[in-house]
Structures are given as structure tokens and as C-alpha cells.
A and B are shown apart, each in its own frame.
Chain A
Amino acid sequence: MGRITLRNVSKRFGEVAVIPSINLEIGDGEFVVFVGPSGCGKSTLLRLIAGLEDVSGGVIEIDGVNATGLPPAKRGLAMVFQSYALYPHMSVRRNIAFPLKMAGMDPAEIARKVEAAAAVLNLTGYLDRRPGQLSGGQRQRVAIGRAIVREPKAFLFDEPLSNLDAALRVNMRLEISELHQALKTTMIYVTHDQVEAMTMADKIVVVNQGRIEQVGSPLDLYRAPANLFVAGFIGSPKMNLIGGPEAARHGAVTMGLRPEHIDLSTSAGTWRGTVGISEHLGSDTFLRVQVEGPGMITVRTGGDSGLRHGDAVFLTPQTGRMHRFDADGKAMA
């Protein structure tokens, strides 16, 4: 079990309302990702759920039980910290065993569970080392091991991969996803990396300035961003946002076009422009095109594009794929 409900949850630090008021329903077994720019309140939200901070108002329920006033130890949740927060003076074995020891479990049972967790996480050979003698990825796994042995109602991850190098990050991303497949336990995962959010989540919660901008599956958010903020945040490279007369022609204040939803031609099209910088990623090439009227537009094209700086090109937006936003930045039907 691991159903978490936030009702009108708010958080103030002194005078500053970091989280004005949030309502959120997290279902049992869901993989939920909180994503948003730095300082938007993701960690704060996670720590409120964990019980490491008090809410200033509202109610947090875990499995239908009001947990608002419970200390972290009593909530039955496990957390993996950005810095791993391993106990440096304990061996890997004792690190993983610590929550079980705190729960007063029988030593033989503890030993069995630690061995089992270590086997799952490929840590068997490292059980007697200290955290200081492990690589970043291994430390990460120990932190996860420490979380899973308790069989918590839900896992809370706060940017767990941000200290790893790019290759390892991809690996650990897969491992955590696999872990979720295997355990089927609720996971709440905080990141500011929208690629992590898109690839791992069942449900993405986009947070901005302490407010939830949109909740939905990765594809929902990609296909139908509820507002300008989500539109700009989800998708890489960013959606082209065009204002002025071009947007007005389509009855919107702002018009959004993803780079992959623009057709490119050297002979004819809606807009005429000049290629500026091109980024070659191998499989794709992203061109920055200076267009009269709409301005600078990013376009995706094939990896073998021969276009160069200064070449003249024509762009045609795929009409069905266009997003339209009103004066408040809300998506229009």
C-alpha cells in the first residue's frame, strides 16, 4: 500500500509562502515525478510528505490515515537523498541494516534481509566496506538498499542522480525503473531534469513557484501542455513560442510549435529564413533559423542534414500540431 493524498497543503518559511496551497492525489504503486525549475519547491514538497518539515496548513494522508502530525519515523516512508546521506562510520552492511535495527528486528532476520537487498543491488562484494570506499554509483545503490529493506509504503527520491556522471545516470535511471517494476511500490521522485521525468514517470507533476502547473502522464504533458510554462518546460529542445501577428493569425496570443513539428524545405514553405547555428547530435540535427516575423525558430531535421550557416530555408508548421495560448498563458481548445 502507498496512497498519498495532499489536501490544501501549504508551507511558509517565515514570511515567504514557498508553497501557497497544493492538492495532489498519488495512487498506490504509482511512479510520480515532481519536476520544475530550481527553487520551485520540489524538495520542500517532498520533505513535507516525509515529515522532515511541518506543513503550515492542510492535511497529508497516507493510506487514508491522517499523517500530518506524525514524525518521519512513524510514516513508514523511505527516502533517498541527493547526497546519499550514508552513515560514514558504518559499513555498507550496517548502513543497510540500520532501519531494521531501529525497528528492533531480530539480528538473524536483519542479516537475511540485508543479504537479499545486497544481492538485488549487486552490492554483495562490498558489504564490509565503508561508504568512503565506494564509487558514486555504488553509494547510490547502498542508499537505495537502505530504503528498500524496510519495505516502506513509498519511496521518496530527491534528485538522486544529480551527483553522477552522464553515463551512470542513464544506468541508474534504468535500475530505478526496474526496481519499481519489481517492487510495485509507490515512488515519488524529484528532479529538475525533464528527460528523467519523461522516461521514468507514470505521472508527472510540474511544479512552478510552489504551484502545480499540470499533472498528467508524460505523453499527456507533451501532447497537451495546459499552459505556457508546461509547454516551455517539457520537451527538448524547447518548444518554439511565437507571439505577435503570426499568433494572432491563428487566434492566439502565443503560438507554440515543437521543433519536431515543423517541416523544413529548401524550396518552398510558409516562412522563409536563414540558418544560424546548427547542432549535430548524430541522429538528429537542430537548426536555429532566423525567420522574418516569428523570429528565431528551432527546427529538427535528420542527422545527415547538409545545411550550413547562412543557407536559406523554408519552414512550414504542421497545422494539427500547433499549440495556442491565450493572454493568461492558458492553452486554448
Chain B
Amino acid sequence: MPDMARKTTTARKATVTALAWTVGFLIFFPVLWTFLTSFKTEGEAIAAPPSFLFFDWTVENYLTVNERSDYPRHFWNSVVIAVGSTLLGVLIAIPAAWSLAFVPGRRTRDVLMWMLSTKMMPAVGVLVPMYLIFRDTGLLDTKSGLVGVLTLVNLPIIVWMLYTYFKEIPAEILEAARMDGAGLRSEIIYVLAPMAVPGIASTILLNIILAWNEAFWTLNLAAAKAAPLTAFIASYSSPEGLFYAKLSAASTMAIAPILILGWFSQKQLVRGLTFGAVK
């Protein structure tokens, strides 16, 4: 195979590297720019020509954002809503995925497809009743209300992801556990769950990311005290005066945790978001 074995020339590799880094840098630039701006003063943030690295670095903006605008509370709301809805979803989804993966029946495929189809229902189609239900049950602007909605919104994805991971576990091992005298609970707790730890972990990770960034229900159902960062940041669109630097600081804090989680879960992300179609 002369073609395959041909050594890539260094020149070619260098060209590719330069090109890829340039493109990567351009795509990443808005994030980088936000990060840099968050350390500028408001004046420097809008200065023309803009300074890239050579400005007086300051953490002023972070302090202001944290002090003046209840930032920590909204951050905490995001954590509670994202983590809470994910864990609740996983708790409901593990038994469901077990059923689908290990006791397949004639309707298994239909159930899976139906679950997926609930994802395709446009949220606006049920916006009004959800708003009214929330208003009338006192769930409006509460964390528990949002946890509930986001659990339902992401449940199909969680079930699907867990299902694709469970499918890879040979049924014989669970049967062995059954022969060894394990009941259903023991079978799931001692055998299935530990074997599926990587899959469950990446499901949790991906769903925290999705829930953290969800911005339809959070914007419509929790405008004030229970508002997570998505909704809180949106309120930055209309303050008076100079705000780029503070916006950048708030944004940096809002996206940093998820950026870090996301970088760890790139591989699982593909699989989760394509419902196992691409691995």
C-alpha cells in the first residue's frame, strides 16, 4: 500500500496545522474575547482601537457582578436546576432503559421512537397551558417547577442514551445474576449500574450541559428569583451606560463550568446527541 504508508511530508503537516489553528482560533475568538473583556474596565472594553492583551487587567468586574446583582443566587439556581433535573431524570430513566434494553418486546422500538417524538413537539405549542398551570399551582418562578419541566424535556434523551449504553452489556451477565439469586433490585444495583458507570456518568454530564443551557422554559417560567443564569444574563440586554465588561464577567462565569464539563464529554456528546446513531 504505497499510498497509505506514504509518509506525510512535514511541509504538508505544517500547512494543515497552520490552517486548522487559524480556523480554530477564529471560531473560538468570541469566547476568548469575552474572557479578555471581562478583565478590562468599561472604558477599555469599548475603546477604539481595541486592545487585545495590553490593558490594565482588573478583577473589578467580577467583584461588581458578584456584589451588586445577586449573581451567586442565580448561579446557585442554575446548579440546582441543572443537577436536580438531571438526577431526577436519570433515576426515572434507569429502570425504563433497563426494560427497553433487556426485556425487548414487539413494541420496544415504537416506545423509543415515541419518546423521541415528544422531543419534536414545539415548546410554544404548550407554552400557554404550562404558564397557566404554573401560575395556578404556584410553581411559577420556583426552582422545583423548573426542575420538573427540564426533567421532562430531557427525559427522552436520557432514556435513549442509557438505552444505547445498556444495549452493549451482554444480557447473559444479568441472567447470571438472576441465577445467582439476585432480585431485580440487586441485579440493577450490584451488576447493571456498576457495569454502566461510564455510560451513566456521561449521560449525567451531557444532560447537565443541556439543562444548564436550556433557554426557553427558563426564560418563560422563571423570570425573577428562581431565574437560572440563562434568564439572568438575558436581563443584561437593557442596562444603562457601559456594561460590556460586566456582561463579559457575568458571561464568563456562566459558561466556564459548562465549558470545562463539555470539554471532558466531547466523545459522549456525539453519541448522546445523535441518540447512539454516531459513536
- The chain A residues found within 8 Å of chain B, CB to CB, are 50, 52, 71-73, 77-79, 81-83, 85-90, 98-99, 102-103, 146, 150
| A85-B172, A87-B173, A102-B186 given; A73·B195 CB < 8 A | no
Say whether B179 faces chain A, with CB atoms less than 8 Å apart. Answer: yes
Task: Decide: B181 and A73 in contact? CB cutoff 8 A.
Answer: yes
Main secondary structure of the interface of A (DSSP, over half): loop
Q: Is the CB of A73 within 8 A of B191?
A: no
A88-B195 in contact (CB<8A) = yes
**Contact pick for B176, options A77, A81, A103, CB 8 Å:** A81
User: Could you tell me the distance between the alpha carbons of A102 and B179 in the complex, rounded to whole angstroms?
Assistant: 10
Residues B173-212 near A (CB distance < 8 A):
173, 175-183, 186, 190-191, 194-195, 197
Give 8 CB contacts A-B under 8 Å: A52-B178, A72-B175, A73-B179, A79-B176, A85-B176, A98-B182, A102-B186, A146-B176
Q: Are A146 and B180 in contact (CB under 8 A)?
A: yes
Contacts of A102 in B (CB 8 A): 177, 180-182, 186
Return chain B residues, CB-CB under 8 Å to A150: 180-181
Q: Determine if A83 and B172 form an interchain contact, defined as CB atoms under 8 angstroms apart.
A: yes
Report the count of interface residues on B (CB-CB < 8 A): 18
When the two chains form their complex, are residues A89 and B194 in contact, meaning their CB atoms are under 8 A apart?
Answer: yes
Contact of B178 among A71, A88, A90 (CB under 8 A): A71
- With both chains docked as a complex, state the minimum distance between the C-beta of B183 and any C-beta of chain A, in angstroms: 7
- Residues of chain A contacted by B170 (CB below 8 angstroms): 83, 85
Closest Cβ–Cβ distance, residue B103 to chain A (whole Å):
12
Contact A87 B181 (CB under 8 A): no
Complex Cα distance, B190 from A90, in Å, reads 10
Q: A81-B172, A81-B175 are in contact. Are A89 and B180 (CB under 8 A)?
A: no
Contacts A87-B191, A88-B195, A89-B195 given; does A99 touch B173 at CB 8 Å = no
Residues of B close to A73: CB separation below 8 A: 178-183
Name A149's closest neighbour in chain B (CB-CB): B180
Contact B175 A85 (CB under 8 A): yes
Assess whether B177 is in contact with A50, with CB atoms less than 8 Å apart.
Answer: no
Chain A residues near B190 (CB-CB < 8 A) = 98
Query: Min CB distance, A3 to chain B, in Å?
Result: 19
Residues of B at the A interface (CB closer than 8 Å) are 170, 172-173, 175-183, 186, 190-191, 194-195, 197
Closest chain A CB from B118 CB (angstroms): 29
Pair A99/B180 contact, Cβ less than 8 Å? yes
Which residues of B are found within 8 Å of A89, using beta-carbon distances?
A: 194-195, 197
Chain A positions within 8 Å of B177 at CB level: 87, 98, 102
The distance in angstroms between the C-alpha atoms of A117 and B179, with both chains bound, is: 18
What's the minimum C-beta distance from A220 to chain B, rounded to whole angstroms? Answer: 32
Question: CA separation between A79 and B174, bound complex, in Å?
Answer: 12
Docked complex Cα distance between A161 and B186 (Å)? 29
CA distance A15 to B109 in the complex (A): 20
| Complex contacts, A79 vs chain B, CB 8 Å | 175-176, 179
CA distance A90 to B175 in the complex (A): 16
Report the bound CA distance from A82 to B173 in whole Å: 11
- Give Cα A102 to B182, complex, Å: 6
| Distance between Cα atoms of A63 and B222 in the complex (Å) | 65
Contacts of B181 in A (CB 8 A): 73, 99, 102-103, 150
Query: Shortest distance in angstroms between B221's beta carbon and chain A's nearest beta carbon?
Result: 41
Apart from A87-B191, A89-B197, A98-B190, 14 more pairs, CB < 8 Å: A73-B181, A78-B179, A79-B179, A83-B170, A83-B172, A87-B173, A87-B195, A88-B195, A89-B194, A98-B180, A99-B181, A102-B182, A146-B176, A150-B180
Q: Which of A71, A85, A103 has the most CB of B within 10 A?
A: A85
Give the docked Cα–Cα distance between A22 and B271 (Å): 46
Complex: A307 Cα to B172 Cα, angstroms: 51
Q: Which of B172, B177, B180, B182 has the most CB of A within 10 A?
A: B180
Q: Report B176 CB to chain A, min CB distance, Å.
A: 4
With the chains together, A86 CA to B191 CA distance in Å? 10
B179 touches A77 (CB 8 A): yes
- A72's partner among B173, B178, B194 (CB-CB below 8 A) is B178
Closest Cβ neighbor of A146 among chain B residues: B180
Evaluate contact between B182 and A85: CB separation under 8 angstroms: no
Q: How far is the CA of A71 from the CA of B176 in the complex (A)?
A: 13
By beta carbon, the residue of chain A nearest B178 is A72
A98 to B194, CA, bound (A): 14
Of B176, B194, B197, chain A has the most CB atoms within 10 Å of the CB of B176
Residue of B nearest to A80 (CB): B176
Q: How far is the CA of A50 from the CA of B179 in the complex (A)?
A: 8
Report A-chain residues with C-beta under 8 Å of the C-beta of B197.
89
Complex Cα gap A73–B176 (Å): 10
Give complex CA distance A98, B178 in Å: 11
Of B178, B179, B195, most A-chain CB atoms within 10 Å: B179
Q: Closest chain A residue to B186 by CB distance?
A: A102
Task: Give the top 3 A-B pairs by smallest Cβ distance, nearest first.
Answer: A99-B180, A85-B176, A102-B181
A99: B residues at CB distance < 8 A:
179-181
With A87-B173, A102-B186 already in contact, the answer to whether A72 and B195 are too (CB < 8 A) is no
Q: Considering only CB atoms, which chain B residue lies closest to A75 in the complex?
A: B179
Bound form: Cα–Cα A78–B180 in Å: 7
State in angstroms the CA–CA spacing of A72 and B186 once bound together. Answer: 14
Q: How far is the CA of A90 from the CA of B172 in the complex (A)?
A: 16
Q: In the complex, what residues of B have CB within 8 A of residue A98's CB?
A: 177, 180, 182, 190
